[in-house]
C-alpha cells in the first residue's frame, strides 16, 4: 500500500467528494462514443460495471468524442472546462420539463420491480427532477436507438443473474454487470453440529474478479448490504481464514473487506490501461420498520432540508482510509448525500404490476424503499459518471499539452 499521506481526505460535513485524483491515460487509437444511458439504471443494486470494447477487449479506454459541435448543442463551448473546476456532488435537485432522458415505459431492459410508470405510479416528479451542481451544468447524452441496446444472451430479467452483458451496438461497446454486494466472497462453512452456515470471507475477493480485470473502465460499489440485519449484528458471520468471529463490529468488517478489495486492485489492475472508479452507496428510506417488517416510504415529495438527511460519515471515513492507502488512483463518485434527498424516488408500493390477493389486502405493508424507480434517480448517477469521464479526458488533454 502507498503512503496514506499522498492522497486527500473525503471527510466533510456535506459529504461531497474531495478526491480529485488525476492520472494520465493512454491516448486511444480510436475514440468511441461513450456508452451511456439505459443499462446504467441497474446501478440500483450493488454491482460492478465493467466497460469493454465489443471487439477489442481491454486495449484502450473508451472516452467520448466531445467535439465543438456537441459542446455548442450543450449550450456552452467551455462546458467541459467548467466541469474540471466544479464539485459535481455539491448541488440541488431541480425540476426540468425536458426530463427524463428516455420516455417512461419505453425501455425493455428495465426490470418490473423498478418500472414504476408501467406499474401505475401516477405522479411524475420522481423522473422530472435533475441534479444541478453549484457552478456548472451536467452534460446530457443518451442512446438514440434503443433497439440497438440489448443483453448479449437475450435475457430480459436480471435480478437473479450473477452477471449480465449489455451490448451498445451503435457505439461498439459492451457494459458488463457483475453482482457482488460485498466485493468479497459470500461463503459457507460448517458449524459445531456439522451443518452448513453462511459466512462472509473478509479476506477473499469476489470469485468473479477474474472476469473483469481486463476492462477499460471499472466501477465498484458496496455499502448498501452492510446495513442489513445479519451484517449489522456481525454475530458468527464474518470469517477470515478458518476463523469465524463470534462478534465483529460492522464498520471494522467493512474496513477489512475494502482493504482486501484495495489490495486486489493494486495487484491486478494496471492504471495505465484501466480507469477505476468507486461509486458511493445509495441510502434507503424505510420508516417504521424494514423491508420485511412493515417499513414504508410512500411519499411523492423529496427532502429539502439538510437537517433531515442521515449521516454517513463513519462509512465515508472507512472509504477515505482505504483509498488513501492504495497506489492505484480511484475516482470517488459521492452520490450518497445527493441521493439521500430523494425519499420520493423509491418504487414504494409501485413495485409490481400485478399484486397477489394478500398484497391487495395490505398494499402499504410491503414497500420497496431501497431500490429506485426508472426513469429516476440512477439516471442522474449516470450523468455524473459521464461528466467525470469528460473531466478525465480534459485533464488528459491538458497534461499532454503541457
Distance CA 184, CA 238 (A): 11
Other CB atoms within a 10 A radius of the CB of residue 197 amount to: 15
Q: What is the pLDDT of residue 50?
A: 55
Distance CA 118, CA 112 (A): 8
- Least Cα distance to 53 among 171, 209, 146 occurs for 171
Give helix then strand counts, H and E, for the chain. Answer: 10, 13
Burial class from Cβ neighbours inside 10 Å (0-12, 13-18, 19+) for residue 142 reads: middle
Identify whether the C-beta of residue 1 lies closer than 8 Å to the C-beta of residue 262.
yes
Cβ-proximal residues to 183 (8 Å cutoff; 6+ apart), any chain: 205, 206, 220, 222, 257, 258, 260, 261
All three cell numbers of 349: 408500493
Q: What is the pLDDT of residue 309?
A: 65
- Least Cα distance to 183 among 140, 218, 235 occurs for 218
Consecutive 10-residue averages of pLDDT for the chain (402 residues) = 38 30 28 31 39 37 39 56 90 95 90 92 94 92 84 81 89 90 92 87 94 92 83 92 95 97 97 94 79 72 71 83 96 92 92 76 75 95 93 82 64
Distance CA 207, CA 215 (A): 16
Burial class from Cβ neighbours inside 10 Å (0-12, 13-18, 19+) for residue 334 reads: buried
The 3-state DSSP class for residue 351 equals coil
Distance CA 38, CA 149 (A): 9
Distance CA 160, CA 101 (A): 27
Domain segments of the chain: what residues? 4-401
Q: What is the pLDDT of residue 41?
A: 33
Q: What is the pLDDT of residue 288?
A: 74
Q: What is the pLDDT of residue 360?
A: 62
Distance CA 236, CA 239 (A): 8
Distance CA 379, CA 101 (A): 8
Amino acid at each position: 500500500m502507498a503512503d496514506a499521506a499522498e492522497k486527500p481526505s473525503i471527510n466533510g460535513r456535506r459529504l461531497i467528494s474531495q478526491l480529485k485524483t488525476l492520472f494520465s491515460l493512454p491516448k486511444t487509437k480510436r475514440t468511441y462514443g461513450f456508452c451511456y444511458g439505459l443499462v446504467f439504471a441497474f446501478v440500483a443494486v450493488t454491482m460492478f460495471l465493467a466497460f469493454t470494447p465489443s471487439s477489442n477487449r481491454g486495449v484502450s479506454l473508451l472516452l467520448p468524442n466531445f467535439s465543438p459541435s456537441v459542446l455548442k448543442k450543450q449550450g456552452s463551448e467551455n462546458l467541459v472546462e467548467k466541469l474540471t473546476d466544479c464539485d459535481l456532488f455539491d448541488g440541488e435537485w431541480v425540476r426540468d420539463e425536458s426530463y427524463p432522458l428516455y420516455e417512461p415505459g419505453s425501455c425493455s431492459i428495465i426490470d418490473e420491480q423498478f418500472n414504476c410508470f408501467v406499474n401505475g405510479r401516477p405522479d411524475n416528479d420522481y423522473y422530472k427532477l435533475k441534479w444541478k451542481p453549484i457552478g456548472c451544468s451536467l452534460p446530457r447524452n443518451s442512446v438514440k436507438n434503443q433497439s440497438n441496446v440489448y443483453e448479449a444472451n437475450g435475457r430480459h430479467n436480471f435480478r437473479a443473474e450473477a452477471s449480465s452483458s449489455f451490448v451498445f451496438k451503435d457505439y461498439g461497446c459492451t457494459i458488463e454487470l457483475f453482482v457482488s454486494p460485498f466485493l468479497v466472497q459470500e461463503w459457507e462453512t460448517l458449524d459445531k453440529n456439522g451443518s452448513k452456515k453462511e459466512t462472509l470471507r473478509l479476506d477473499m475477493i469476489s470469485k468473479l474478479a477474474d472476469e473483469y480485470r481486463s476492462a477499460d473502465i471499472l466501477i465498484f460499489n458496496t455499502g448498501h448490504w452492510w446495513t442489513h440485519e445479519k451484517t449489522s449484528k456481525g454475530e458468527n458471520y464474518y470469517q477470515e481464514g478458518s476463523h469465524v468471529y463470534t462478534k465483529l463490529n460492522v464498520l471494522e468488517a467493512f474496513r477489512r473487506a475494502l482493504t482486501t478489495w484495495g489490495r486486489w486492485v493494486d495487484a491486478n489492475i494496471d492504471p495505465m490501461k484501466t480507469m477505476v472508479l468507486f461509486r458511493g452507496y445509495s441510502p434507503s428510506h424505510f420508516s417504521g420498520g424494514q423491508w420485511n417488517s412493515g417499513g414504508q416510504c410512500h411519499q411523492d415529495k423529496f427532502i429539502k432540508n439538510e437537517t433531515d438527511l442521515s449521516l454517513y460519515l463513519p462509512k465515508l471515513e472507512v472509504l477515505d482510509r482505504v483509498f488513501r492507502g492504495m497506489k492505484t488512483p480511484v475516482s470517488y463518485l459521492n452520490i450518497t448525500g445527493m441521493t439521500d434527498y430523494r425519499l420520493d424516488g423509491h418504487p414504494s408500493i409501485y413495485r409490481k404490476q400485478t399484486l397477489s390477493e394478500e398484497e391487495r389486502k395490505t398494499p402499504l405493508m410491503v414497500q420497496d424503499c431501497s431500490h429506485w424507480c426508472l426513469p429516476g434517480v440512477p439516471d442522474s448517477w449516470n450523468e455524473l459518471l459521464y461528466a467525470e469521464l469528460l473531466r478525465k479526458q480534459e485533464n488528459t488533454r491538458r497534461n499532454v499539452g503541457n
